[in-house]
Amino acid sequence: MAFRLKLVPEHTAIDFFRWQWLTFGFSVVAVIGSILIAVVMGLNFGIDFRGGTTIRTESTQPLEIAAYRAALAPLDLGDVAITEVFDPNFRADQHVASIRIQAQPGQDAMHPEDMARIEAALQGVDPAVVFVSTESVGPKVSGELIWTAIWSVLAGTVAIVIYVWLRFEWQYSIGALASLVHDVVFTIGIFAAFQIKFDLTTIAALLTILGYSINDTVVVFDRLRENLIKYKTMPLRDVMNLSVNETLSRTVMTSGTTLIALVSLLVFGGDVIRGFVFAITWGVIVGTYSSVYVAKNVVLFIGLDRNKEKKDPSDKFFSGGAQDGAP
The structural domains of the chain, with segments of one domain joined by +, span 20-44+142-315, 52-137
- Alpha helices by DSSP H, listed for 74-199, are 112-125, 139-167, 170-193
Question: Is the predicted pLDDT of residue 325 greater than 70, yes or no?
Answer: no
Architecture of domain 52-137: 2-Layer Sandwich (3.30)
Beta-bridge partners for 57: 97, 131
pLDDT at res. 198: 83
pLDDT at res. 315: 41
Summarize pLDDT for 277-294 with one digit per residue, the tens.
888 899 888 888 888 888
Q: 325 and 229 in contact (C-beta within 8 Å)?
A: yes
Mean pLDDT of 156-181: 86
Q: Which fold has domain 20-44+142-315?
A: Multidrug efflux transporter AcrB transmembrane fold (1.20.1640)
pLDDT at res. 314: 42
Query: What string of H, E and C letters represents the secondary structure of 33-98?
Result: HHHHHHHHHCCEECHHHHCEEEEEEEECCCCCHHHHHHHHHHHCCCCEEEEEECCCCCCCCCEEEE
Calpha distance 284→289 (Å, rounded): 9
**pLDDT band at residue 87, thresholds of 50, 70 and 90?**
confident
What is each CA distance from 270 to 88, 96, 186, 266, 278, in whole angstroms? 8, 12, 24, 7, 12
User: What are phi and psi for residue 106, nearest 5 degrees?
Assistant: 75, 10
104 vs 93, residue with greater confidence: 93
Question: Is the predicted pLDDT of residue 238 greater than 80, yes or no?
Answer: yes
Chain-centroid distance of CA 195 in Å reads 15
**pLDDT band at residue 3, thresholds of 50, 70 and 90?**
low
Q: 136 and 118 in contact (C-beta within 8 Å)?
A: no
